[in-house]
Amino acid sequence: MTIRTTLAAVAALALASPAAAEFALDERFTDADGDLVADIPTDESQLVDPDTLIFAYTPVEDPAVYAEVWQGFLDHMSEVTGTQVQFFPVQSNAAQIEAMRAGRLHVAGFNTGSNPLAVACAGFRPFTMMAAEDGSFGYEMEIITYPDSGIAEVADIAGQKMAFTSETSNSGFKAPSAILAADFGMKAGEDFEPVFSGAHDNSILGVANKDYPAAAIANSVKGRMIEREVVTEDQLVTLYTSQTFPTTGYGIAHNLTPDLQQKIQDAFFSFDWEGSALEEEFSKSGEAKFIPITFQKDWEVIRKIDDANGVVYDCN
């Protein structure tokens, strides 16, 4: 049986946990308009207009697969911006954030949970996400196991190992941590042994191959893996399904020139999905276009989850 929850669990944990500091950007950045993202520098000497734009998609098990998926889009971005665009395969959320913070990454898709850290510490300016044709968007966090694991409900995870992806992941760590504590009275290290796989596909494969008794994952990744026949539905059992969360947010380094930032946004919103490799891959999770978003509005639920977990965005 699948259980579904709402923000009530997060609110309950927020009452029981020390509150994190109010969301704030690193001192390197300014936010004069109060939209919670770094302003574009007004000092022209701080702006950059690179000969080659570096793009990175959120870390996955096999970055080479997604290099091919994104190539047609990157060719389109190159045409729109008049600048060469190169795919940068990142191995972790931390490495992706550090690359943008250090000026080595210009355009990126940061996963749901690492978006706030990228905004606060790396000057990331998210402006779009993928959505269905009707404009609906998002994914759910699932806690999964495998058939005959001996785990019939979430409470049965007690005393066993549970796989998370990374500490910056929303569905891979932060949301399940909040929900397990609030709804089930279960804390990592006390009631079960947490292990980290590094990526959602690693966790899903780990459960399918019976390496992990249970895992917290994004069901959008699971859907694409089933469509690609990397795993089969009968290898996995869903114990828990969360509310819907925003998916990967795409955006730009804050210090690119305003003209270049506008052209990059134009590239996202003018891309023709029909017949593209992007459509072939992401239609597996119901996505069909890019839609405008704001970090202030669309990531509010994620900031609440971080607050419930006592997260502080330490940029040092």
Residue 13 has pLDDT above 60, yes or no: no
- Model pLDDT, residue 95: 92
Q: Is residue 154 over pLDDT 50?
A: yes
* pLDDT reported for residue 5: 38
Element (H, E) at 297: helix 295-298
Q: State the Cα–Cα distance between residues 242 and 299, nearest whole angstrom.
A: 16
Structural domains in the chain? 3-13+139-245 (3.40.190.10), 17-136+246-308 (3.40.190.10)
Distance CA 210, CA 235 (A): 9
pLDDT greater than 80 at residue 293: yes
Per-residue tokens: 206: 């780990």
Pairing relation of β-strands 215-218 and 84-87?
unpaired
* Residues 85 and 74 sit within 8 Å (Cβ to Cβ): yes
Region for 148 from its dihedrals, namely left if φ exceeds 0, alpha if ψ lies in -120 to 50, beta otherwise = left
Measured distance CA(289)–CA(5) in Å, rounded = 28
Q: What mean pLDDT comes out for the span 115-123?
A: 96
Q: Please tell me the distance from the alpha carbon of residue 303 to that of residue 210, in angstroms, as a whole number.
A: 33
Per-residue pLDDT reduced to its tens digit, 251-265: 999 999 999 999 999
Tell me: pLDDT of 3 over 50: no
Q: What is the pLDDT of residue 47?
A: 98
> Alpha-carbon distance 1 to 271, whole Å?
40
Tell me the per-residue pLDDT of 94-106, one tens digit each, with 9 for 90 and over: 899 999 999 999 9
What pLDDT does residue 271 have?
98
CA proximity to 165, closest of 131, 138, 141: 141
Percent of the chain topping pLDDT 90: 75
CB 174 within 8 A of CB 309: yes
Amino acid 282: pLDDT: 93
Measure the CA–CA gap between 19 and 80, rounded to whole angstroms.
Answer: 44
Encoded tokens for 60 = 């996955």
What are the tens digits of pLDDT across the range 183-236? Answer: 899 999 999 999 999 999 999 999 999 999 999 999 989 999 999 999 999 999
Q: Identify the pLDDT of residue 6.
A: 38
Residue 309 backbone class (left: φ over 0; alpha: ψ -120 to 50; beta: rest): alpha
pLDDT confidence bin for 249, thresholds 50/70/90: very high
Tokens of 253: 């380094």
Decide: 31 and 63 in contact? Cβ < 8 Å: no
Find the mean pLDDT for residues 60-66: 78
Banded model confidence at residue 15, pLDDT cuts 50, 70, 90: very low
pLDDT at 21: 45
Q: Per-residue confidence at 155, pLDDT binned at 50, 70, 90? A: very high
The mean of the pLDDT values for the chain is 90
At residue 19, the pLDDT reads: 42
Q: Is the pLDDT of residue 1 over 70?
A: no
- Cα distances (angstroms) measured from residue 63 to each of 90, 92, 204: 7, 11, 16
How large is the average pLDDT for residues 264-289?
A: 96
pLDDT number for residue 20: 42
Round to whole Å and give the CA distance between 295 and 7: 18
- The reported pLDDT for the residue numbered 14 is 37
Element (H, E) at 52: strand 52-56
